[in-house]
């Protein structure tokens, strides 16, 4: 079996070399792969309530793929709502006291003004006037204290509202949302599993653009530059698909064992990636293809 495989590879290489002798374009073999994968992780910690997507399913950006149990967060949110109502009640009571204190203070100030006017004529006593002045100062102090109390309650309320917003975000993050248009490649966890923040749940990729990695000998590397057009040929597809060189290795490496024969494994080559559009889904991960420049 091994000998047969080497014979086939050797035949392919021989055909390619013969083609070059006839001034035809050299063909490089490679496998289709994704350009990059995205790991979709849990943003909340609890039991996975639902995750119905399967490997191979098509997903859309913004689509809810499942969710994590939020019973604890919901109970916490209800408690926070009750405490917020208590803060609001305390604030309303303090504001009502301020209104009463302001009214009493205005009355005392008006009475003191009237007393000052009749004091010289003997219409009021100095003792009464002093008592009103003392009451006015006490009223001012009380009003300042009440206003400070309202400010403190308002600050506590705002801090609590920030905590509630954090709870709302945690509830929102319990929904597992797709960050891209693509296909589910791997599923790591299932309904009923316990997830923590950062637990990998799914691996997905955009298959509308794929890559082919090939290996180019040093003597042919000069003709391969970034942005250069390439034609990708797939078995069973009559029309070649156009691609573009997106990466060229900066260092040489020995030819991978699966590419050429044993006799040429010591040849130094450079890795090259060709980017290929795949809007119709013709190309599949792992599919062998030929690349010509």
**Structural domains of the chain, ranges and CATH numbers in brackets:** 2-35+207-292 (2.40.30.170), 39-69+175-205 (2.40.50.100), 71-173 (1.10.287)
- Residue 96 has a CB neighbour count (10 Å cut-off) of 11
CB 274 within 8 A of CB 292: no
Residue 231 Cα distances to 221, 228, 243, 268, angstroms: 17, 10, 6, 24
* pLDDT tens-digit series, residues 126-185: 888 788 888 888 888 888 888 888 888 888 888 888 889 999 999 999 999 999 999 999
The SS3 call for residue 182 is strand
pLDDT of residue 237: 83
Q: Which of 100, 101, 99, 136 is nearest to 115 (CA)?
A: 136
The phi, psi pair for 122, rounded to 5°, reads 85, 15
The whole model's pTM is what?
Answer: 0.65
d(CA 255, CA 268): 6
* pLDDT tens-digit series, residues 53-70: 999 999 999 999 999 999
pLDDT of residue 4: 39
The phi, psi pair for 197, rounded to 5°, reads -60, 125
Helix, strand, coil in percent for the chain, rounding step 5: 45, 30, 30
Start-to-end C-alpha separation, the chain: 32
Stretch 260-288: mean pLDDT? 79
* pLDDT tens-digit series, residues 208-249: 999 999 998 888 888 899 999 999 999 888 889 999 999 999
Higher pLDDT, 53 or 117: 53
């Amino acid at each position: 079996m091994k000998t047969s495989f080497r014979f086939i590879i050797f035949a392919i290489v021989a055909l390619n070399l013969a083609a070059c002798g006839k001034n035809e374009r050299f063909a490089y073999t490679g496998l289709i792969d994704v350009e990059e994968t995205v790991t979709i992780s849990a943003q909340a910690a609890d039991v996975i309530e639902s995750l119905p997507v399967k490997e191979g399913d098509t997903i859309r950006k913004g689509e809810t793929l499942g969710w994590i149990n939020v019973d604890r967060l919901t109970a916490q949110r209800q408690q926070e709502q009750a405490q917020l109502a208590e803060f609001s009640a305390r604030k309303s009571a303090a504001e009502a006291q301020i209104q009463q204190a302001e009214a009493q203070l205005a009355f005392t100030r008006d009475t003191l003004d009237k007393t000052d006017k009749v004091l010289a004529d003997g219409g009021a006593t100095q003792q009464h006037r002093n008592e009103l002045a003392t009451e006015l100062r006490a009223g001012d102090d009380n009003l300042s204290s009440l206003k400070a109390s309202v400010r403190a309650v308002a600050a506590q309320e705002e801090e609590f509202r920030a905590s509630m917003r954090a709870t709302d975000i945690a509830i929102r993050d319990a929904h597992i949302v797709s960050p891209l248009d693509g296909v589910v490649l791997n599923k790591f966890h299932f309904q009923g599993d316990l997830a923590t923040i950062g637990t990998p749940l799914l691996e997905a990729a955009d298959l509308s653009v794929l890559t082919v990695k090939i290996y180019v000998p040093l003597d042919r590397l000069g003709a391969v530059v970034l942005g250069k057009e390439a034609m990708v040929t797939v078995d069973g597809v009559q029309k070649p698909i156009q691609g573009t060189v997106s990466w060229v290795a900066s260092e040489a490496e020995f030819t991978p064992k699966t590419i050429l024969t044993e006799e040429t494994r010591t040849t130094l080559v450079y890795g090259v990636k060709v980017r290929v559009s795949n809007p119709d889904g013709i190309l599949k991960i792992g599919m062998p293809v030929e690349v010509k420049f």
